[in-house]
A and B are shown apart, each in its own frame.
Chain A
Amino acid sequence: MLKLPLIKLEMNDRRRINGPPGGTRPAVFASHLESSSAADRARRERQPTELRKIFLKTGLIPSASGSSYLEFQPSASLAAARETPKSLIPPSSALKLACTVHGPKPLPRSAAFSPNLVLTTHVKYAPFAARKRKGHIRDASERDLGVHLETALRGAIIAERWPKSGIDLTITILEAEDDRWWADAPDSHDASWGMMNVLAGCITAASAAIADAHIDCLDLVAGGVAALVSDDSGDSSTTSPRLMLDTDPAEHRSIMSACVVAYMPARDEITELWLKGDSSKAALENGDARSAHEALIDGAVDAARGAYSVLGDALRESVLQTIQS
C-alpha cells in the first residue's frame, strides 16, 4: 500500500507506455505464505575472508569514451539454482552492471565557470533489477548511490587537468543484490544492505571506465564491503558477531553493521567511507582487540584490495589488446 503513490505517478507518465490504470500486483507464492522453512536459506560457503570472483571488462561500448561491465560471481546457492532449476524464486542474486563515461567535453554554456573537471554521476536500476519492480524515475536510493559514487571518484581524478570540462558517468544496474534473504521479514537490524554491495561494484566499475576513457587519476579506486554478522539462531547476545568480507546479504540471517569503502591502494587512501548499522557495543570474537568500527573498515579495505587486483588485470588486458591490434 505504501507503494501506491509511486505507481500512480507512473500511471500518468505520458512519455512512457503505461500498464493497466488500476495497477498490478506482484505474484504471491503459496509457499511464501505457509512457512519460510519450506525453502532452504541460502548459505555462505566461502571463508569469512574469501571474496566472490568479479568479472570486469572494459571498452565494450564503443560510442562511449570509456566503458566497463562488471558482474559478481553468483553465490553457491544461486549457481546451484541455475544448474538445476527447481523454484521460480531465486535464492539470491549477483550484481550485474554496465558503466559508461562520456567526455571530457566542454561544459554547457549555461553552466558556471569551473577551473576543474566536473564529474556528474548517474546510477539507475533497470526496472527488472531487483526483486521488487523498480520505477522508471530515479528514486531516493538511486540518487543516494550517485552522490556516494561521485564522492568516491572525485578524490581520485586529477580534475585540474581539464578546466571548463565535464564528464558524465552513467551506471545501469541490470541486476542488484538483495537486502536480505527473500523469505525473511525485516528485523530490527534491517537496512538496505544490498545497496552497499551495489555501491562497491559501482565504484570498481566506474574506476575502470574512467581509466578506459584515459582520464588521469591518482590511482585506481576499488570498492570493498565488510560486515559484522551474527548468524547463530540462538541467543545472539552471548555470541560475538563475526567479521565477513564481501557479504551477500541473502546469505545471512542478521547483519549488524556493514561498511563500504572506496580505496586507493597506491596512496593508502580512502576516498569514501560509508558505515551503516550499530556496532558500538559489539565485541569481536577471538579476543580481537580492535573496535568494531576499525575492524569493519580494515575488512572493507581488504575487500577493496581484492577488487583492485581484478581492476588492474582488466585494464592490463584491455591495454594489451589495443597494443596488439
Chain B
Amino acid sequence: MVGPTASLSNLHRADGSASYKCPATGFAVLGAVNGPVELPARRDALKPEEATVEVFVKPGNAVPGVGEKYVEGILRDVLSTVILRREKGLPRRGVVITLAIVGGEATERGDSYLTLLPALLHAAQLALISAAIPLPMTLATTLLGVTRSGEIIRDPSPAVAKAATSLHAISFSSKGHLLMNESLGRFDFDTWELVRQQAATICRGAATPGSDGDAAMGGTDNAHVDGFVRETVEDHLHRDYNWKLESI
C-alpha cells in the first residue's frame, strides 16, 4: 500500500502551511494557518479565556456550500481539542485555518465528508505545527469502511466507500484518546468495536502496553499514521536546523 505524502511550510505568506496527499483515497489538501491573529472586537467577547479557532474549507473546483460549513464545524471541534487555546498569547486571539481541497473526487450534494476527513485533519494539523501553534499532542486519523461481507477496508477509495455498508472516520491522539468518531451507515456496536481496534492499530501502531511515545521515538514505525506525522515533522525540523547540526 502506498503511504501518504506530506510536506511542511510550502506557502510563504502564511504563518504555517502544509500539504497532504493520500494516494489510496486520492485526496490532496493544502492547509494554511495564521495565528495567533487579532479578531474583530465583537467576537472575542465570546470566550475571553481561550483562543477562537476558525476553520475554512475551500473545495477545489466549486464554491463552498452548506457541506463545507458542516465539515468546518467538525474540524473546528476536533482541532480545538488539540490546540492549547489557553497558552500565553492565545486567549482573545484567533487561529485561522484554511484548507483547500486540491485533489481527489469532488464532493457531492449531501456528502458525508467522511472520506475527506483524514486528509483535512492531517493537513490542518501539520500546518498548525508549521505555524508553531502550541499543541499538547498530535492526532492521527484513519478512514475505515465495512463491506457487505463484513470485511474492514483501510482508506477505501470513493467508489468502495460508496458501496460500503458503513463508513468510519476515527481520530486518536498521540496519547491514545479517542478524539473523534464519525460513523455512518448500518452497523452494530460489535462491528464498531472491531473497527475501533483496527483504527487504533493503524493510527498508533501495534498495541504495546506501557510503551511511551518518547521511547518509541528512535525506531519510528513507518506503518502507522502517528509515526508518519512524527516523521514528517522530524524531516522538516532536520532540514530547518541543518545549518546548526552541521556546525556542531
Say yes or no: is A25 at the interface (Cβ < 8 Å to chain B): no
Nearest residue in A to B110 (C-beta to C-beta)? A17
Tell me the nearest residue of chain B to A108, going by C-beta. B42
Q: Does B216 contact A (CB under 8 A)?
A: no
Residues in B49-76 with C-beta less than 8 Å from chain A: 63-66, 69
CB distance from A232 to the nearest CB of B (A): 53
* Highest count of chain B CB atoms <10 Å: which of A14, A15, A17: A14
| B residues less than 8 Å from A16 (CB atoms) | 66
Residue of A nearest to B64 (CB): A14
B109 within 8 A of A: yes
| Residues in A whose Cβ lies below 8 Å from that of B110 | 17
Size range of the chain B interface in the assembly: under 10
Could you say which residues of chain B place their CB within 8 Å of the CB of A14? 63-66
Q: Count A-side interface residues using an 8 Å CB cutoff.
A: 5
Q: How far is the CB of A107 from chain B (nearest CB, A)?
A: 14
> Measured between alpha carbons, how far is A293 from B110 in the docked complex, in Å?
55
Cα separation A300 to B91 with both chains bound (whole Å): 59
Q: Which residue of chain B lies nearest to A14 when distances are taken between CB atoms in the complex?
A: B65
The DSSP consensus for interface residues of chain A is: loop
* Mask of A7-21 contacts with B, CB within 8 angstroms, 1/0: 000000011111000
A292 to chain B, nearest CB (A): 52
Chain B nearest CB from A186 CB (Å) reads 37
Considering only residues 169-217 of chain B, those with a C-beta below 8 Å from chain A are none
Expressed in whole angstroms, the minimum distance between the Cβ of A141 and any Cβ of chain B is 27
B192 to chain A, nearest CB (A): 29
Bound Cα distance A18, B64 (Å): 13
Chain A positions within 8 Å of B63 at CB level: 14
Complex Cα distance, B66 from A15, in Å, reads: 6
Of the candidates B63, B66, B110, the one having the most CB atoms from chain A within 10 angstroms of its own CB is B66
Contact with B along A176-216 (1 / 0, CB 8 A): 00000000000000000000000000000000000000000
A19: min CB distance to chain B, Å: 10
Hey, what's the 0/1 contact readout for B68-112 against A, CB within 8 Å counting as 1? 010000000000000000000000000000000000000001100
CA distance A111 to B64 in the complex (A): 31
Which chain A residue shows the least CB distance to B62? A14
CB-CB under 8 A from A15, the residues of chain B are 65-66, 69
Q: How far is the CA of A18 from the CA of B62 in the complex (A)?
A: 15
Q: Which of B95-141 contact A (CB under 8 A)?
A: 109-110
Q: Is A17 a contact partner of B109 (Cβ separation < 8 A)?
A: yes
How far is A16 from B69 in the complex, measured between Cα atoms in Å? Answer: 11
User: In the complex, what distance in Å separates the CA atom of A197 from the CA atom of B110?
Assistant: 39
Give, as a whole number of angstroms, the nearest-CB distance from A115 to chain B.
24
* A110 CB, nearest partner CB in chain B, Å: 10
Tell me the complex Cα distance, A229–B66, Å. 48
Residue of B nearest to A12 (CB): B63
Minimum CB distance partner of A17 in chain B: B66
Q: Shortest Cβ distance from A229 into chain B, in angstroms? A: 46
Measured in the bound complex, the distance between the Cα atoms of B63 and A14 in whole Å is: 8
Residues of chain A within 8 A (CB-CB) of B69 are 15
CB distance from B72 to the nearest CB of A (A): 13
Q: How far is the CB of B228 from chain A (nearest CB, A)?
A: 35
Minimum C-beta distance from A15 to chain B (A): 7
For B41, give the chain A residue with the smallest CB separation: A109
12 example contacts (A-B, Cβ-Cβ < 8 A) are as follows A14-B63, A14-B64, A14-B65, A14-B66, A15-B65, A15-B66, A15-B69, A16-B66, A17-B66, A17-B109, A17-B110, A18-B109
A14-B66, A15-B66 are known; give 6 further A-B pairs, CB within 8 A.
A14-B63, A14-B65, A15-B65, A15-B69, A17-B110, A18-B109
A interface list, Cβ under 8 A from B: 14-18
The list of the 3 closest CB pairs from A to B, nearest first, reads: A14-B65, A14-B63, A17-B66
